Amino acid sequence: MTEPVVVEAGAGGLERVRVTGARADAEVYLQGAHVTRWQPRSAAAPVLFLSARAAYAPGKAIRGGVPLIFPWFGPHATDRTKPMHGFARARSWRLVRAEPAPDGTVGLELALDDDEATRAVWSHAFRARYRVTIGDALGLTLEIVNASRAPFTFEAALHTYLTVGDVRAVAITGLDDTAYIDKVDAMTRKRHGAEPLRLTGETDRVFLGTRTRCVVHDRDLGRRLAVDKTGSASTVVWNPWSAKAAEIADLEPEDWRRMVCVETANAADDAVTLAPGARHVMTATIRVEAAA
């Protein structure tokens, strides 16, 4: 009988948790608390995109799956020598719980606390807990606690890479009439209209004040990928398109066609300020649905 939860050496010798559940399979690397695979039994095509060129090495972010971003999003606001997207995605997290539930799901909990290395780049004391629920849906819950004696402000994101048949044939709903920062156009602030979002070139947008579900309508794969969230006021949509993808070493040249990132986030204007002892919880739930 297959063990539902196995901790083993994964690619590059990095430690990972492999889950074989009644409802879905998954893989989570302890470096970065990084979900690299979630495949519900009901889905024929892969749900999470993972690059065949992804690097598995200490301190290196894995290209694909769900990178966990904290405590800042993108480059550091004042010091570009600090790591892109913060440090959480490259740190080793502790596995504190792994257990199957009676309903057929499997729950994991991972933990990261401040230490000398984190305080060297971000001076605050914190506790981060990440709960992953693996089943027909993928549930992700990131809890941040301010363990400092003073308030701090942070950004966070679940940088979800979704597999699509062809990004040029995809429509994304849930972002109607929403202000966004266009990072491809010199951080210009714009507003998306009432129509679904369709990607026609390099896209890197931080949609602000978004709290509703986003749905990726995939004509070629005949399905919808729905992302519900709580505790998140930003949604980031990213695709490098052809020219930029060719410059990214851990992407295949044509990978841009097969993926789109729809990220649950609190970024830019939506950064979170926590008082000492306070906590913030952000969740994302990803589901595969039949095409309408």
Distance CA 85, CA 95 (A): 22
Q: What is the CB neighbour count within 10 angstroms for residue 289?
A: 12
Catalytic member of 27, 109, 155, 263? 263
Burial of 139 (0-12, 13-18, 19+ CB in 10 A): middle
Question: Shortest CA distance to 48 belongs to which of 22, 72, 73, 29?
Answer: 29
- Does residue 280 carry a catalytic annotation? no
Whole-number Cα distances in Å, 98 to 3, 4, 101, 158 = 12, 9, 10, 20
Catalytic member of 85, 124, 159, 217? 159
Contact (CB, 8 A) for 65 and 11: no
- Does residue 289 carry a catalytic annotation? no
Phi-psi region of 78 (alpha: psi -120 to 50; beta: other; left: phi over 0): alpha
Distance CA 107, CA 27 (A): 12
Whole-number Cα distances in Å, 159 to 42, 99, 227, 239 = 23, 25, 12, 12
Distance CA 11, CA 33 (A): 15
Residues 6+ apart with CB under 8 A from 185: none
Question: Shortest CA distance to 289 belongs to which of 42, 24, 106?
Answer: 42
As annotated, the active-site residues are 159, 263
